Amino acid sequence: VMEGRDIGTAIFPDAEFKFFLVADVNTRARRRFEELKKKGESISEHEVLDQMVERDRRDSARELAPLKRADDAIEIDSTKLSIDAVVAAMKAKINARIKAAKDLKRA
């Protein structure tokens, strides 16, 4: 299991299972702000949002391995999902694909 902004497109383009997680930028900023707050960092939620928007813009526009969804990646919107719900959704997608492959072999 690997996580990163260009894992499915540049690092492991032939991986059997790829997921592209998305979430509303405000939700992502709030989550990151909470993480930083727990670490004792002093930054406003607005600053985190501004930094996140800029990072997304920069990563999407870079020439080498820009941030984008791999064509064969399964997209999951985690805006309203807990970590456990995201993992459950991923497992369900994997299990469904494995079952479909087994059913195809039987046919």
In the chain, what are the domain boundaries? 7-80
- Model confidence over 3-39: pLDDT tens digits? 887 788 888 899 999 999 999 999 999 999 999 999 9
Q: Is the pLDDT of residue 84 over 90?
A: yes
**Which residue type is seen at 91?**
K
- Give CA separation, 84 vs 61, 73, 80, 89, in Å: 32, 20, 12, 9
